[in-house]
Amino acid sequence: MTVASYPTGKIVQVLGAVVDIEFPQDQLPKIYDELRLKQPAIDLEQALAFEVEQHMGNNWVRCIALGATDGLQRGAEVINRGRPISVPVGPQTLGRVFNVLGQPVDNAAPITDAPLWQIHREAPILEDQTIQAEMLETGIKVIDLISAFCKRWKDRCLWRGRGWKNCDHSRVDQQYCAQTQW
């Protein structure tokens, strides 16, 4: 699609990172759609991005700006991409650093052949998930013995509730970095 064929709206209110945008009645974007600020001198992929979070009524949508809103003005045109934000996934992305829009920020070659997944999608069905506990080995005997970790435990913090002092944290961190040559 060319830029001219995307539905466009106008910014009506800016409150920090929250931006309200008005669209024509028949072109209202869906929740989680990606919007981009229309700027003639900037490529659409590099323009400020927004994500639709709420339909406000009166053809307004409330969005979150995914970048700095300094200098953003009422009346500026915004383009509806007609799709949610998608990011690359797969083995090509391992070890890479991306921003929230899935663009590499590590100054390495761009990823062109990886499949794109929407950031808002259904959770995998239970049959596709691994339920067997797998231990995460840190390589530090004290940590592995006293505070064993399971892979994929999102709520577990390395030092939380262990009674360790800051000097102990630093000492273990130094050992870990020395052993892994990090």
CATH architecture assigned to 3-84: Beta Barrel (2.40)
- Predicted pLDDT of residue 83: 94
Alpha-carbon distances, residue 30 vs 24, 26, 65, 143, 145 (angstroms): 13, 12, 16, 47, 50
Is the pLDDT at 164 greater than 80, yes or no? no
C-alpha pair distances (Å), 17 with each of 5, 39, 69, 139? 27, 19, 6, 42
- Among 20, 4, 24, which Cα is nearest to 12's? 20
Lowest mean pLDDT among 9-18, 89-98, 109-118, 147-156: 147-156
Helical H runs in the chain? 141-146, 166-180
The alpha carbon of residue 35 and the mean position of all alpha carbons in its chain are separated, in whole angstroms, by 15
The residue that leads in pLDDT, 166 or 14, is 14
Q: What is the predicted pLDDT for the residue at 178?
A: 58
Ranges of each domain in the chain: 3-84, 126-180
Of 53-67, 70-84, 121-135, minimum mean pLDDT range: 121-135
